[in-house]
Structure formats: structure tokens, C-alpha cells
Amino acid sequence: MLKSNIQKYPLISFVVINYLITWIFLYPCYKLILNAEEGTFPPLALIGFIGAYGPTISAIIVEKITNGNRGIKELLKKLLVWKVHIKWYLFIFFIPILLYTVAVLTSKLFGFQLGQINLKDGLSSSFLFILIALPFGPMGEELGWRGFFLPRLLQKYKIWKSSIIIGFVWTIWHLASFTFPGAAIPSIFEVNLWTLFLYLLTIIGESLLFTYLFLKTRFSVLIAILFHAVFNASSNIVLTIFPQVENIVEQREIIYIINFLLIALLSIVLLVRINKTYNNKKITTYNKM
């Protein structure tokens, strides 16, 4: 019964299994860490990694049931797609950082100060921030979101709708992480309806940008992982350059909004261009590599 339902409703099954894995393992992990004595880390909290890899685990489960070992092999092959034009590597490593930098600089127009600029510190720490970000989100999520979920959505819906659906599902998936300061929403913000709304808009914007990149890089999950890591690290990199900005809540909120608007604008421009290529049709050849 369960197997037949997964075969019949693979997209819904992916989302449900994904959410279950995340809440069962990630939420208790955060509680353990928050309740631990200061300066200590409870080893049992490592179960959180299972929850963080919920999208990947769910994708493998559903792919196995729906398409067997062949499906898993095709899914995992997307992790090996690295031969893309150099411009896409430049895109993934510079665009997120550039957008956040422009957002910080633009905040000055609203009367905020930037303070001391430590360009050398920011540049020297960039690689470390990206490396730290890799296992906490990108490596655990992208095989699910872009490797499994997006291609199947594109078989049913057009580019825009598929991207927005992922944005909503991706945001809701992070609900467990909202219970831990800084795990999703920046720790400087309170978790309330306003910040949740801003987070949703930002994730939808990022989802649109990920779809563009995914389609332009031969459906590479590896590229998506790297892009995700740079996005996660971009605020830390830029705020290392502008350390005075980090703890000013009002300025960080303005920066957050400007950054979203920049992401959304860039995504819309790029997807409008790619829509012409696909003539606004559903994409049904996603798995031909």
C-alpha cells in the first residue's frame, strides 16, 4: 500500500518523507544543543545530520521505489556533472557575494554607516566560510531539491511555477531550523511573521535563480551544491569586510530586504531570457545528460 502510493504520488511522497526525517532528527538535535551546558556539545545532537540530509535521503528512497537502482544511478550521476563553462563557476562564486555587497553598500542610502572596511579579512576568510557551509545544507539538500524535485516538477509545470513551488516547500522544510538561532533566519532577528515572510520571499528568489543555473549547467547538482554553499557563506564573508554592520538590527533588516530585491530582479531577468529558449513550454527532457 505504502509503496504503491509512493509510486503513484512521488512528488508528495518526497515532500512528506523529507519533512518527517527533518523533524524527527533535526528538531531534537537543536533542543539538545540549546539545553546543553554552555561550552559543551552533546554527542547525541549529531543525529541532526540525518535531519539535515532529509532531502537527499527522501530523494533516494522515492527514486528507488519508483525507478529502482537505475533511477538512483541517474540521480547520483548529476553529482558528477562538473564540465561546464568557466563562466558558471565565476557566476556561482561571485554573484551571491556581489549581491550581498551591493545590499550592504546600498544601506548607506538609508542613513546607516559602514564603518571600518576590512577587505583583506573578508577575502582571506572566504574559502573557509564556504567550506564550513558545505556540509550544513548544500550537501544535504541539493540532491533532493535540484536533483530530484525540480526535474520532476519541470515535467509537470513550467519554469516559473516549478521554481515557486520549490520555494514554498523549501521554506516550510526550514521550520524545524527556525527553532535554533541562526540556523535559517539570521540570529540577530526575532522569529515572527515579518521575518518569516522575508525569509519566504528570499528563498523563492533564490529558487528562481537556482532553476536558471540548473538549466544552464546541464542539470548539475554539483554546481547547485557549490552555489548553495556560497549563498550561505556570502553574508559571513561580506560582514567580515564590514564588521560594524553585523550587530545593527535595523541595518541588517534593510540589507536583507535589498538583497532579496536584488536576487528577485536578477532571477526574473535571467528566467525571462531562458523562457524564450524554451518557448515557455514544460521541460520533459531533464534527464538526458
pLDDT tens profile 49-67: 999 999 999 999 999 999 9
Under 8 Å between Cβ of 288 and 155: no
pTM, two decimals, is 0.93
Calculate what percentage of the chain has a pLDDT beyond 90. 84
Of the pLDDT bands very low, low, confident and very high (cuts 50, 70, 90), residue 284 is low
CA distance 214 to 219: 5
User: Sign of the CA dihedral 4, 7, 13, 18?
Assistant: positive
pLDDT tens profile 99-137: 999 999 999 999 999 999 999 998 899 999 999 999 989
Q: For all residues of the chain together, what is the average pLDDT?
A: 92
151 CB-near residues (< 8 Å, 6+ apart): 219, 286, 287
Under 8 Å between Cβ of 106 and 248: no
Under 8 Å between Cβ of 208 and 267: yes
pLDDT at 1 over 50: yes
Compute the residue count for the chain: 289
Mean pLDDT of 246-267: 95
pLDDT at 276 over 90: no
Query: Residue 165 has what pLDDT?
Result: 97
Of the pLDDT bands very low, low, confident and very high (cuts 50, 70, 90), residue 286 is very low
Closest CA to 103 of 213, 231, 204, 200: 231
pLDDT tens profile 8-49: 999 999 999 999 999 999 999 999 999 988 888 999 999 999
Query: Residue 8 has what pLDDT?
Result: 92
Of the pLDDT bands very low, low, confident and very high (cuts 50, 70, 90), residue 2 is confident
Compute the C-alpha angle 104/110/112, nearest 5°. Answer: 65
pLDDT at 229 over 90: yes
Of the pLDDT bands very low, low, confident and very high (cuts 50, 70, 90), residue 273 is confident
Closest CA to 112 of 120, 122, 121, 103: 103
Query: Residue 33 has what pLDDT?
Result: 93
Under 8 Å between Cβ of 209 and 203: no
pLDDT at 217 over 60: yes
